[in-house]
Amino acid sequence: MKNLSIVTEFILLGIPHTKDLETMLFVLFLCFYIFTLMGNLLILLAIVSSTRLHTPMYFFLCQLSVCDIFFPSVSSPKMLFYLSGNSRVISYAGCVSQLFFYHFLGCTECFLYTVMAYDRFVAICYPLRYSVVMSHRVCAILAMGTSFFGCIQATFLTTLTFQLPYCGPNEVDYFFCDIPVMLKLACADTSALEMVGFISVGLMPLSCFFLILTSYSRIVCSILQIRSAEGRHRAFSTCSAHLTAILLFYMPVVLIYLRPTPSPWLDATVQILNNLVTPMLNPLIYSLRNKEVKSSLWKVLHHLGFLPEQL
């Protein structure tokens, strides 16, 4: 009878094909992480401190900034820890936590982008009914709903992955614990579970993306009917920022989870962009083309003593 021992910890091998680049990657990723935290914290401060920005659109933007603070924090601290020369070992519970919170926050963002598209749809297509449709109660329900369904999806995927026995190799050929690399280490046939996970991970974002495209097709039709050139420009400016953020979010998901033949190096590169670069760019995307956010942000930076009073 074959002697099988239960795995109690895993070893993160890191990003493939990056041997001897640890110091450079540590400095680079640390800068990305710091800028991500600072940028999203500033967006939160700018929105909270300005009563003009206490509207549904900025309420959901606040929630996005919170997600963008915690999302890279799932994998980045441990990655920076071992890139600085420390242990690459992660406990079984730590690995479970990484996978759960990564998909919880990722799914929450996916649902949140859908809600933000719906908010813009109501604001542009039904402006007179906007305050009634997007009331404080509705916004609170939608915000809680994104987290609730994100938690359900993450719980399902985590349970699906870790109900398998792990009794042999414990080297994770990646920089954090994710579904594809964990299934490779399981001591059981994972073909059926891979198909279920593929459908689950693929169906949810594609469904959300379809709803977003539906909303924006209606939005574009409504914008084209606006007679004022200034009104069309303002509507397009707001929507283009949201669409840019959506594309930056969804492209890595498609490349990582919906490709038939995975590539470890490409997956890791795209995952880094998704985990660190996109959350860092979101504050820039939403602030550079928005005068109200820029004005409030300027006031916050002035209050902190970093900038003069006037633009």
Where residue 195 sits, what CATH number does that domain have? 1.20.1070.10
> Would residue 117 count as lying in a domain?
yes
Q: Return the amino acid letter for 242.
A: H
Angle at 6 between CA 271 and CA 256, to 5 degrees: 15
- Total domains in the fold of the chain: 1
Maximum average pLDDT range among 21-25, 250-254, 299-303 = 21-25
Say if 258 falls within a structural domain.
yes
Region 270-285: mean pLDDT is: 85
Alpha helices in 50-91 (DSSP H): 56-70, 76-83
pLDDT at residue 311, rounded to an integer? 47
| In the predicted structure, residue 226 carries a pLDDT above the cut 80 | no
Q: Which pLDDT belongs to residue 5?
A: 55
- 166-205: per-residue pLDDT in tens? 887 888 888 899 888 888 888 888 777 777 777 677 778 8
Domain membership flag for residue 244: yes
Asked if residue 193 is part of any domain, the answer here is: yes
* pLDDT recorded at residue 75: 92
Please report whether residue 271 resides in a domain: yes
**Domain boundaries, position 74:** 9-304
* 2 class by beta-carbon count within 10 Å (0-12 exposed, 13-18 middle, 19+ buried): exposed
Confidence of residue 10 (pLDDT cuts 50, 70, 90): very high
Q: For residues 15 and 272, is the Cβ–Cβ distance under 8 A?
A: yes
Prediction pTM value: 0.88
111-128 per-position pLDDT tens digit: 999 999 999 899 888 988
Q: Residue range 93-105: average pLDDT?
A: 94
Q: Looking at 11-20, 23-32, 262-271, which range is the least confident one?
A: 262-271
Task: Examine residue 67 and state whether it is found in any structural domain, yes or no.
Answer: yes
| 311 in any annotated domain | no
207, two tokens: 């469904």
Q: Look at residue 33 and tell me whether its pLDDT is greater than 90.
A: yes
pLDDT tens, 127-164? 889 999 999 999 999 999 999 999 999 999 899 899 88
More confident residue, 286 or 67: 67
Does residue 90 form part of some domain? yes
